[in-house]
Amino acid sequence: MTHQARKRFGQNFLHDPAIIERIVQAIRPQPGQRLVEIGPGKGAITLPLLAACGRLEVIELDRDLVQPLADRAQGIGELVIHQQDALRFDFAALAGDGRVRTVGNLPYNISTPLLFHLIAQSDSIQDMHFMLQQEVVDRMAATPGNRDYGRLSIMIQYHCRVEPLFGVGPGAFQPAPRVHSAFVRLTPWQQPPVSVRDTDCLATLVRQAFSQRRKTLRNTLKGLLSEQDILATGTDPTARPETIPLEQYAALADRLAEHKQGE
């Protein structure tokens, strides 16, 4: 299959057999499971996944890849191709009353918004296995006080358990990206690690807190919470956003929810 990788789609096709085998082993696909692959590309992990589970749904934006992929899947299993943008795809509708497993070598240029799109539908997702830029995985797994800790860390960790599995060098892809990659497992919590009254309040508060991460909470949360509000949650108003754990952000979000309820 000859296909030139398209920069606008963020295409870097996986071709290393050892890495492909390691990915499939980490996913452990089983017959009868509802698997959805995002960005199958030329089918490097699509075909072994399909062979293992018998039926696979894939979301591919590049229409030129759709027919060649369908042709390659002939005789292996039932491949359902959605020629759509994953950023607009309704995973909850696909899951119905059940839950889907999502996998993919995600386009790095849309990985963060795509992750937020997925965690918004995490009730319908059993687990996620993704190849991402190493830097993004570091941010997802970061703890307070770490320079990588930020909005992505907090929101992903509120919704999912984060397990970085292994790193992948540029040579495993064609064309080789300029960055290192990592394979990660995200498992949505059945019960979030902290209690939050309103997840929209948490998202709003965290977004604003990190909009100017070098400023103190007192300054960056101005307009949402007063210094007295911050103190009332047991949080230091002079602390910087990257030092505050998820539990404290949950308390701040609950304070914001109280204000909204009283409006």
Residue closest to 80 by CA, chosen among 59, 52, 64: 59
Asked whether 73 and 50 are in contact (CB, 8 A), the reply is yes
- Give the Cα separation of 153 and 167 in Å (integer): 19
Residue range 7-188 forms a domain whose CATH class is: alpha beta
- Give the Cα separation of 131 and 105 in Å (integer): 5
Residue matched to tokens 């075909």: 47
Ranges in the chain annotated CATH 3.40.50.150: 7-188
Residue matched to tokens 């009254």: 197
As to burial, measured by CB atoms within 10 angstroms (0-12 exposed, 13-18 middle, 19+ buried), residue 201 is: buried
Residue closest to 36 by CA, chosen among 53, 19, 20, 14: 53
Q: Phi-psi bin for 248: left (phi > 0), alpha (psi -120 to 50), beta?
A: alpha
Ranges in the chain annotated CATH 1.10.8.100: 199-262
How far is the first Cα of the chain from the last one, in angstroms, to the nearest whole number? 60
154: number of CA atoms within 13 Å, CB side? 27
What's this model's pTM, rounded to 2 decimal places?
A: 0.92
pLDDT digits (tens, 9 = 90+) for 115-161: 999 999 999 999 999 999 999 999 999 999 999 999 999 999 999 99
Strands 13-14 and 173-174: antiparallel
Compute φ and ψ for 81, nearest 5 degrees: -105, 125
Containing 210, the helix (H) or strand (E) segment is: none
DSSP 3-state of 62: coil
- Fold classification of 199-262 is Helicase, Ruva Protein; domain 3 (1.10.8)
Crossing angle for the helix pair 17-27 and 46-53, nearest 10 degrees? 40
Residue closest to 102 by CA, chosen among 110, 113, 114: 114
Residue 217 CB coordination number (10 Å): 24
pLDDT digits (tens, 9 = 90+) for 155-197: 999 999 999 999 999 998 877 888 899 999 999 999 999 999 9
Q: What is the pLDDT of residue 80?
A: 97
| pLDDT at position 10 over 50 | no
pLDDT digits (tens, 9 = 90+) for 35-93: 999 999 889 999 999 999 999 999 999 898 899 999 999 999 999 999 999 999 999 99
Asked whether 63 and 94 are in contact (CB, 8 A), the reply is no
Residue matched to tokens 């030139």: 4
